A = this chain, B = another copy of it.
Amino acid sequence: MVAIGIDVGGTKCLAVALANDGSILDSLTLPTATGVGIVEEVADLCTALASRVGKAATSLGVGMPGTVSRDGIVYLAPHLPDVRQLPMRALLSSQLGIPVVVDNDATCAGVAEWKNGAARNCDNALVITIGTGIGAALIANGKVMRGHHGFAGESGHHIVMHGGEECPCGRRGCWEQYASGSALRRMANGVSGEEVLLRVVQEDKEAKRVLEEFASWVALGLYNLVNTLDPQLIVLGGGLGSSGVLRHFVADALTQQMPPSELRPAPLLVTAQLGHEAGAIGAALLGKEVIE
Protein backbone atom coordinates (compact mmCIF):
# COMPACT_ATOMS: atom_id res chain seq x y z
CA MET A 1 0.00 0.00 0.00
CA VAL A 2 1.43 3.34 -1.02
CA ALA A 3 -0.23 6.75 -0.73
CA ILE A 4 0.85 9.34 -3.29
CA GLY A 5 0.65 13.08 -2.66
CA ILE A 6 1.31 15.76 -5.27
CA ASP A 7 1.80 19.47 -4.60
CA VAL A 8 1.12 21.48 -7.75
CA GLY A 9 3.03 24.77 -7.66
CA GLY A 10 3.12 27.68 -10.08
CA THR A 11 6.37 26.41 -11.61
CA LYS A 12 6.85 22.81 -10.46
CA CYS A 13 4.99 19.74 -9.21
CA LEU A 14 6.38 17.72 -6.32
CA ALA A 15 5.17 14.15 -5.76
CA VAL A 16 5.89 12.05 -2.66
CA ALA A 17 5.12 8.40 -1.91
CA LEU A 18 4.25 7.74 1.73
CA ALA A 19 4.67 4.43 3.53
CA ASN A 20 2.06 3.23 6.04
CA ASP A 21 4.03 4.77 8.91
CA GLY A 22 4.00 8.19 7.20
CA SER A 23 7.66 8.14 6.16
CA ILE A 24 8.63 9.22 2.64
CA LEU A 25 9.59 6.28 0.41
CA ASP A 26 10.54 8.39 -2.61
CA SER A 27 9.79 11.69 -4.34
CA LEU A 28 9.78 13.14 -7.84
CA THR A 29 9.63 16.69 -9.26
CA LEU A 30 8.54 17.93 -12.70
CA PRO A 31 7.94 21.40 -14.19
CA THR A 32 4.24 22.31 -14.02
CA ALA A 33 2.34 21.82 -17.30
CA THR A 34 0.26 24.73 -18.49
CA GLY A 35 -3.52 24.80 -18.79
CA VAL A 36 -5.69 21.74 -18.44
CA GLY A 37 -2.69 19.53 -19.35
CA ILE A 38 -2.23 19.63 -15.59
CA VAL A 39 -4.60 16.66 -15.13
CA GLU A 40 -2.52 14.45 -17.48
CA GLU A 41 0.68 15.53 -15.79
CA VAL A 42 -0.56 14.78 -12.29
CA ALA A 43 -1.84 11.35 -13.39
CA ASP A 44 1.49 10.54 -15.09
CA LEU A 45 3.49 11.74 -12.10
CA CYS A 46 1.43 9.51 -9.81
CA THR A 47 1.94 6.45 -12.00
CA ALA A 48 5.66 7.14 -12.51
CA LEU A 49 6.37 7.53 -8.79
CA ALA A 50 4.36 4.43 -7.84
CA SER A 51 6.27 2.42 -10.43
CA ARG A 52 9.59 3.76 -9.05
CA VAL A 53 8.74 2.51 -5.56
CA GLY A 54 7.56 -0.78 -7.10
CA LYS A 55 4.01 -0.73 -5.69
CA ALA A 56 0.58 0.22 -6.99
CA ALA A 57 -0.71 3.56 -5.69
CA THR A 58 -3.70 3.00 -3.41
CA SER A 59 -4.75 6.65 -3.13
CA LEU A 60 -3.80 10.07 -4.48
CA GLY A 61 -4.02 13.47 -2.84
CA VAL A 62 -3.41 16.68 -4.80
CA GLY A 63 -2.70 20.14 -3.41
CA MET A 64 -3.64 22.96 -5.79
CA PRO A 65 -2.63 26.63 -5.54
CA GLY A 66 -6.16 28.04 -5.61
CA THR A 67 -9.72 27.70 -4.38
CA VAL A 68 -10.96 24.12 -4.42
CA SER A 69 -14.51 23.07 -3.61
CA ARG A 70 -15.32 20.32 -1.14
CA ASP A 71 -15.89 17.92 -4.04
CA GLY A 72 -12.53 18.55 -5.69
CA ILE A 73 -13.42 21.11 -8.34
CA VAL A 74 -10.66 23.68 -8.79
CA TYR A 75 -12.49 26.98 -9.18
CA LEU A 76 -9.60 29.39 -9.60
CA ALA A 77 -5.81 29.04 -9.48
CA PRO A 78 -4.24 32.50 -9.90
CA HIS A 79 -0.91 31.12 -11.16
CA LEU A 80 -2.55 28.66 -13.60
CA PRO A 81 -4.84 31.00 -15.53
CA ASP A 82 -6.32 28.26 -17.75
CA VAL A 83 -7.57 26.30 -14.77
CA ARG A 84 -11.17 27.34 -14.06
CA GLN A 85 -13.90 25.11 -12.66
CA LEU A 86 -11.80 22.05 -13.43
CA PRO A 87 -13.38 18.87 -11.95
CA MET A 88 -9.94 17.57 -11.08
CA ARG A 89 -10.96 14.91 -8.57
CA ALA A 90 -13.52 13.31 -10.88
CA LEU A 91 -11.12 13.34 -13.87
CA LEU A 92 -8.15 11.90 -11.95
CA SER A 93 -10.16 9.31 -10.13
CA SER A 94 -11.74 7.95 -13.32
CA GLN A 95 -8.37 7.97 -15.09
CA LEU A 96 -6.39 6.28 -12.28
CA GLY A 97 -9.11 4.06 -10.81
CA ILE A 98 -8.15 4.90 -7.20
CA PRO A 99 -9.63 7.27 -4.59
CA VAL A 100 -8.49 10.85 -5.20
CA VAL A 101 -8.70 13.96 -3.01
CA VAL A 102 -8.01 17.48 -4.29
CA ASP A 103 -7.62 20.36 -1.85
CA ASN A 104 -6.03 23.77 -1.49
CA ASP A 105 -2.22 23.61 -1.17
CA ALA A 106 -2.04 25.62 2.06
CA THR A 107 -4.69 23.35 3.56
CA CYS A 108 -2.56 20.33 2.58
CA ALA A 109 0.56 21.86 4.13
CA GLY A 110 -1.47 22.61 7.26
CA VAL A 111 -2.73 19.05 7.50
CA ALA A 112 0.86 17.76 7.24
CA GLU A 113 2.12 20.05 10.01
CA TRP A 114 -0.89 19.15 12.15
CA LYS A 115 -0.67 15.37 11.69
CA ASN A 116 3.11 14.91 11.45
CA GLY A 117 4.80 18.23 12.14
CA ALA A 118 4.89 21.31 14.34
CA ALA A 119 1.18 21.30 15.35
CA ARG A 120 0.97 17.62 16.24
CA ASN A 121 -1.67 16.86 18.91
CA CYS A 122 -2.97 20.41 18.80
CA ASP A 123 -6.77 20.80 18.57
CA ASN A 124 -6.79 24.53 17.81
CA ALA A 125 -4.00 25.72 15.56
CA LEU A 126 -3.29 27.96 12.60
CA VAL A 127 -0.78 27.03 9.93
CA ILE A 128 0.12 30.14 7.93
CA THR A 129 2.13 29.69 4.74
CA ILE A 130 4.05 32.81 3.70
CA GLY A 131 5.69 32.67 0.29
CA THR A 132 4.89 34.83 -2.73
CA GLY A 133 1.37 35.02 -1.25
CA ILE A 134 -0.24 33.96 2.04
CA GLY A 135 -2.17 30.74 2.65
CA ALA A 136 -3.87 29.58 5.83
CA ALA A 137 -5.07 26.28 7.24
CA LEU A 138 -7.31 26.37 10.30
CA ILE A 139 -7.55 23.53 12.79
CA ALA A 140 -10.50 23.94 15.17
CA ASN A 141 -12.03 21.47 17.62
CA GLY A 142 -9.51 18.89 16.36
CA LYS A 143 -10.66 19.13 12.74
CA VAL A 144 -9.62 20.96 9.59
CA MET A 145 -12.05 23.83 8.97
CA ARG A 146 -13.11 23.87 5.35
CA GLY A 147 -16.18 26.08 5.49
CA HIS A 148 -19.35 25.69 3.49
CA HIS A 149 -17.89 25.61 -0.04
CA GLY A 150 -14.41 24.47 0.98
CA PHE A 151 -12.95 27.99 0.70
CA ALA A 152 -12.10 28.63 4.38
CA GLY A 153 -8.59 29.92 5.07
CA GLU A 154 -8.49 32.65 2.39
CA SER A 155 -7.22 34.89 5.17
CA GLY A 156 -4.55 36.42 2.92
CA HIS A 157 -7.37 38.50 1.50
CA HIS A 158 -8.79 39.80 4.74
CA ILE A 159 -8.52 43.57 4.80
CA VAL A 160 -6.18 45.16 7.32
CA MET A 161 -6.03 48.63 5.78
CA HIS A 162 -9.28 50.03 4.41
CA GLY A 163 -8.42 51.78 1.13
CA GLY A 164 -4.81 50.50 1.21
CA GLU A 165 -2.61 48.85 -1.44
CA GLU A 166 -4.35 47.39 -4.51
CA CYS A 167 -4.58 43.60 -4.66
CA PRO A 168 -5.00 41.47 -7.83
CA CYS A 169 -8.15 40.05 -6.15
CA GLY A 170 -9.88 43.33 -6.93
CA ARG A 171 -9.91 44.86 -3.46
CA ARG A 172 -7.57 47.15 -1.54
CA GLY A 173 -5.68 46.66 1.71
CA CYS A 174 -5.59 42.82 1.80
CA TRP A 175 -3.19 41.33 4.36
CA GLU A 176 -1.28 39.66 1.51
CA GLN A 177 -0.34 43.12 0.20
CA TYR A 178 1.58 43.81 3.43
CA ALA A 179 2.74 40.47 4.75
CA SER A 180 3.74 38.23 1.82
CA GLY A 181 7.09 37.74 0.10
CA SER A 182 6.02 40.17 -2.63
CA ALA A 183 5.20 42.78 0.01
CA LEU A 184 8.60 42.37 1.69
CA ARG A 185 10.33 42.82 -1.66
CA ARG A 186 8.35 46.04 -2.19
CA MET A 187 9.23 47.34 1.29
CA ALA A 188 12.91 46.49 0.63
CA ASN A 189 12.93 48.38 -2.71
CA GLY A 190 13.25 45.24 -4.81
CA VAL A 191 15.63 43.28 -2.57
CA SER A 192 14.37 39.68 -2.18
CA GLY A 193 13.09 38.35 1.15
CA GLU A 194 15.92 35.81 1.26
CA GLU A 195 18.48 38.61 0.86
CA VAL A 196 16.78 40.79 3.51
CA LEU A 197 16.95 37.89 6.00
CA LEU A 198 20.63 37.33 5.16
CA ARG A 199 21.45 41.01 5.69
CA VAL A 200 19.61 41.00 9.03
CA VAL A 201 21.83 38.13 10.18
CA GLN A 202 24.81 40.25 9.08
CA GLU A 203 23.43 43.04 11.30
CA ASP A 204 22.58 45.45 8.51
CA LYS A 205 20.51 48.21 10.18
CA GLU A 206 18.37 49.13 7.19
CA ALA A 207 17.49 45.48 6.58
CA LYS A 208 16.55 45.15 10.25
CA ARG A 209 14.28 48.20 10.02
CA VAL A 210 12.53 46.79 6.95
CA LEU A 211 12.10 43.36 8.56
CA GLU A 212 10.65 44.96 11.70
CA GLU A 213 8.10 46.84 9.62
CA PHE A 214 7.24 43.71 7.66
CA ALA A 215 6.99 41.56 10.82
CA SER A 216 4.58 44.05 12.38
CA TRP A 217 2.23 43.57 9.40
CA VAL A 218 2.53 39.79 9.65
CA ALA A 219 1.73 40.08 13.37
CA LEU A 220 -1.25 42.38 12.68
CA GLY A 221 -2.97 39.73 10.53
CA LEU A 222 -2.09 36.99 13.03
CA TYR A 223 -3.56 39.18 15.78
CA ASN A 224 -6.80 39.44 13.79
CA LEU A 225 -6.97 35.68 13.38
CA VAL A 226 -6.20 35.17 17.08
CA ASN A 227 -9.15 37.40 18.02
CA THR A 228 -11.51 35.35 15.92
CA LEU A 229 -10.10 31.84 16.40
CA ASP A 230 -8.13 31.80 19.69
CA PRO A 231 -5.59 29.15 18.64
CA GLN A 232 -3.15 27.50 21.02
CA LEU A 233 -0.39 27.53 18.45
CA ILE A 234 0.52 29.30 15.23
CA VAL A 235 2.83 27.56 12.77
CA LEU A 236 4.63 29.75 10.22
CA GLY A 237 5.56 27.86 7.06
CA GLY A 238 6.35 28.48 3.42
CA GLY A 239 9.51 29.72 1.71
CA LEU A 240 9.67 32.94 3.73
CA GLY A 241 7.53 32.02 6.75
CA SER A 242 9.72 29.08 7.79
CA SER A 243 12.64 31.39 8.57
CA GLY A 244 13.68 31.34 12.22
CA VAL A 245 14.82 34.95 11.95
CA LEU A 246 11.41 36.07 10.72
CA ARG A 247 9.67 34.03 13.44
CA HIS A 248 11.72 35.87 16.06
CA PHE A 249 10.72 39.29 14.70
CA VAL A 250 7.04 38.31 14.32
CA ALA A 251 6.87 36.86 17.84
CA ASP A 252 8.23 40.14 19.25
CA ALA A 253 5.73 42.17 17.23
CA LEU A 254 2.81 39.94 18.22
CA THR A 255 3.67 40.17 21.91
CA GLN A 256 3.83 43.96 21.61
CA GLN A 257 0.50 44.07 19.81
CA MET A 258 -1.52 41.90 22.21
CA PRO A 259 -3.33 44.19 24.68
CA PRO A 260 -1.39 44.09 27.96
CA SER A 261 -2.92 41.26 29.94
CA GLU A 262 -1.56 38.54 32.14
CA LEU A 263 -4.80 36.73 31.31
CA ARG A 264 -4.32 36.32 27.62
CA PRO A 265 -0.76 35.67 26.50
CA ALA A 266 0.11 35.73 22.81
CA PRO A 267 -0.20 32.22 21.34
CA LEU A 268 2.92 30.17 20.83
CA LEU A 269 4.56 30.88 17.48
CA VAL A 270 6.72 28.18 15.88
CA THR A 271 8.21 27.46 12.47
CA ALA A 272 7.01 24.60 10.27
CA GLN A 273 8.91 21.31 10.48
CA LEU A 274 8.27 19.63 7.15
CA GLY A 275 9.84 22.14 4.79
CA HIS A 276 8.92 22.35 1.12
CA GLU A 277 7.49 18.82 1.14
CA ALA A 278 4.67 19.73 3.57
CA GLY A 279 2.07 20.29 0.83
CA ALA A 280 2.74 16.95 -0.90
CA ILE A 281 2.85 15.05 2.42
CA GLY A 282 -0.45 16.61 3.54
CA ALA A 283 -2.07 15.81 0.20
CA ALA A 284 -0.96 12.18 0.56
CA LEU A 285 -2.34 12.06 4.13
CA LEU A 286 -5.71 13.44 2.98
CA GLY A 287 -5.88 10.83 0.21
CA LYS A 288 -4.99 8.07 2.66
CA GLU A 289 -7.80 9.13 5.01
CA VAL A 290 -10.39 8.32 2.38
CA ILE A 291 -9.45 4.64 2.23
CA GLU A 292 -8.91 4.19 5.97
Interface residues of A (CB under 8 A from B): 67, 75-76, 85, 123-124, 136, 138, 140-141, 143, 145-155, 157-162, 164, 169-171, 220, 223-225, 227-232, 257, 259-261, 263-264, 267
Q: Top 7 nearest A-B pairs by Cβ distance?
A: A147-B230, A148-B232, A158-B224, A170-B259, A152-B230, A151-B230, A154-B227
Check B140 against A141 for contact (C-beta < 8 Å).
yes
In the complex, what's the smallest C-beta–C-beta distance from A261 to chain B, in angstroms?
8
Check B229 against A145 for contact (C-beta < 8 Å).
yes
Check A143 against B145 for contact (C-beta < 8 Å).
no
Query: Given A152-B229, A171-B259, A224-B224, 17 other A-B contacts at CB below 8 A?
Result: A67-B263, A75-B263, A76-B261, A123-B148, A138-B228, A140-B140, A140-B147, A141-B145, A145-B229, A148-B231, A154-B228, A155-B228, A158-B224, A159-B223, A160-B162, A162-B220, A170-B259
A171 cross-chain contacts in B, Cβ below 8 A: 257, 259
**A228 touches which of B123, B148, B169, B228 (Cβ 8 Å):** B228
Q: Which of A147, A170, A263 has the most CB of B within 10 A?
A: A147
Check B151 against A140 for contact (C-beta < 8 Å).
no
A141 cross-chain contacts in B, Cβ below 8 A: 140-141, 143, 145-146
A155 cross-chain contacts in B, Cβ below 8 A: 227-228
- Cα A181 to Cα B259 in complex, Å, equals 23
Q: List 20 A-B contacts (CB under 8 A).
A: A75-B264, A76-B263, A140-B147, A141-B143, A141-B145, A147-B229, A147-B230, A148-B231, A148-B232, A149-B230, A153-B230, A154-B227, A154-B228, A158-B228, A159-B224, A160-B160, A160-B162, A162-B220, A169-B259, A224-B224
